[in-house]
Structure 1
Amino acid sequence: MNDNPCTQIRHDFPIFEVSVDDQPLCYLDSAATTQKPNQVIQAVKDFYQSQNANVHRGLHTLSEQATTAYEAVRRKLAQFLNVQSREIVWTSGATASLNLIAYGLSDSLKKDDVILLSPLEHHANIVPWQLAAKRTGARIELLPVDAQGILQLEQAKALIENLKPKVMSICHASNALGNINDVAALIASSKSSGTVTVIDGAQSLLHLRPDLQQLDCDFYVFSAHKALGPTGLGGLYGRYELLNALPVYQSGGEMIDTVSFSGTTFRPAPEKFEPGTPNIAGVIGFGAALDYLAAQDHDALFQHEQSLYQSLLQQLSGIDGIRIWGDTANNVGTVSFNYKNEHHYDLATLLNTHGIAVRSGHHCTQPLMAHLGIEGTIRASLAFYNNQQDISRFIAALKDTISLLEE
């Protein structure tokens, strides 16, 4: 895919009209959050302007319209992921989804059961499991990752066969390094042990658009804002019999079947995990994001991202003193690097004066940074709305920044 269609797509994103310190914005932080097309922004505005009402609770016209639009997005997402709509639960994001699952699966964990994670995980896919282990006496084990930050697949499969974990929760793609993990192979290896498999899809929903029936995982979590949608919304897919077997996580209105002072009964999934008034505008905005993505040629967009990624890798590798981390052969388009002994914070701060938006720090992966023997990195993460000019501006700004630091 050349920059021509990319240029047309870029016009859909009003953020690129913004300047930073009198410089055109060069946005390379899509792993943190993606930018939103006009269609998503307009959908949220239209809801509040002409359709605002609560869902599921009213017979009046606005409520019925809001409910219809809201539930249509659940079906749309189910089709996007190739699952049943009753297997989709709305939450506030991937973090809330992982907490819900870890809390719910605690009932099935006992002393010395194995919860298998990897050193690549975001804190949100570590801490909930630590709490579950503390509650139940289960123990956490780690999949093998090499000194570059790459999962060792054959060793991992052997470890799964040996440990027979009760739960395995791993990222589809690393938020810090961009590595694409072969989660399908790991899931397949776990089947004979009856392991419950949880996939953190925060970085994969947009770039990889997984078919969850083919992936064959038990749970999959995501955040809408990392796939063109609004913030404050996400959700999870759960294989229905497993999802419905989880205990209630939070309680309130809407998820109730009957309430009396002698006892309360709850509705089945997904409703029993959706108490209170949901993020209706966020769901409707996410529906517009799904429509936008469905209208694009996914393969062409992915090839465009990969072309930009390879260009970025090549040009970064040409700068003496740059150390790139992670799996550059299987990556969603994220480059995580250091320059000599310069602090990542200093580099990012100076890059910002050129209008370059990158991320610096540990990226909520402190255990991974400790494994790599560093405090943090500079992370430049791409999406399909980026173009070659972004790469050129970034490299030029980085060279200027390095020159300034070495004066």
Structure 2
Amino acid sequence: MALELKVPEVGESITEVLIGDWLKKVGDAVKRDEPVVMIETDKVTVELPAPADGVITQILITAGSSAQVGDVVGMMEAGAVAAAAPAAAAAPAAPAPAAAPAAPAPAPSGETRVMPAAARELATRGLSAQDVTPTGPGGRLLKEDVQRAQPAAAPTAPAAKAPAPALGGSRQTEAVPMTPMRRRIAERLVQSQQTAALLTTFNEVDMSAAMAARKEWQPLFTERYGIKLGFMSFFVKAVCDAVRLVPQVNAEIQGTDIVYHNYADIGVAVGGGKGLVVPIIRNAERLSFAEVEQTIADFGARAKANTLKLEELQGGTFTVSNGGVYGSLLSTPIINPPQSGILGLHGIQDRPVARNGQVVIRPMMYIALTYDHRIVDGREAVTFLKRIKECVEEPTRMLLEV
């Protein structure tokens, strides 16, 4: 019996996906629930399992192509696995390698289609698409093609930077399709700018007390909990304290209503294998410093492996973004709709400040709160940010809740 392999429902509001690597080829036998193809969304990568035992008979949408939820990406024949051998023989697997040598022909004319992962790999290695032979379906250039490229190709990149060849060389451009994640990020950023009345207010935090506490308790903390004490837990717990004082920052607009949340689901921006993602720390107000650090570390590891679950990326009430890890000194972060606020953290720098009539050097960090002015007034925003400052500069206040 012929069975369709369809793009499944992968999350609320997600209608388009990117077809990732096919784990099986035409003619391969599969078991029920065995992964057949990777499906990439703007947030996570999921596996499409086989609905029954059988054999893959057709691949209708190749890796690197877009598809809609419900689209048929392939076909399989359920039942006797004996059909696997003939299917493999009848499949165009043998002619495929023969077609690969023809792929270099389009390269000089600039017609090679470069997959997004391959484009990133080219940029990392300092190569151009013309330096690599594509082996993907339809002459597509895959990430693996770039990784297999000879090391000797790398020195050609510095040569292109020399002034003389640059002036006399060819002028090339390359169009790389936006991935679903990049398109979704673009849509949400535009949505945030167009639907919310965004405003940013700033303050600065003296990190001396937090740094001293971390230095003093780091050995015992690491020994007891198996993880290092970072600064994100200080700020996440400070946010939980501040939203009790200013609940508007933890609210959202739904139609003509303002919906207040009596819990703090804090999104933390982490770098992943597919870019920046924002997993949610559920009920952060109930967690200890150690539990916050363990959750963030777990998110970071699974983000790099693209194994975060979709539900872990949805439904936050507030976001904390730490641009300081990338060297940012100051920024105006954009809120993640429908949230009403985002706290931006930045790099710590030793700066001269006045203390008791004396100029002293202190480790200072700029912090920024971008908020939706439709819900949050300026006074409330300043009060919120001031409370963050107080909590981090005097961490014991968070423990005593004063």
Which has the bigger relative contact order, CA under 8 A and spacing at least 6?
Answer: 1
Same fold (TM over 0.5): no
Greater helix fraction, Structure 1 or Structure 2: 1
Which protein is bigger by CA-based radius of gyration? 2
TM-score under structure 1 normalisation?
Answer: 0.21
TM-score under structure 2 normalisation?
Answer: 0.21
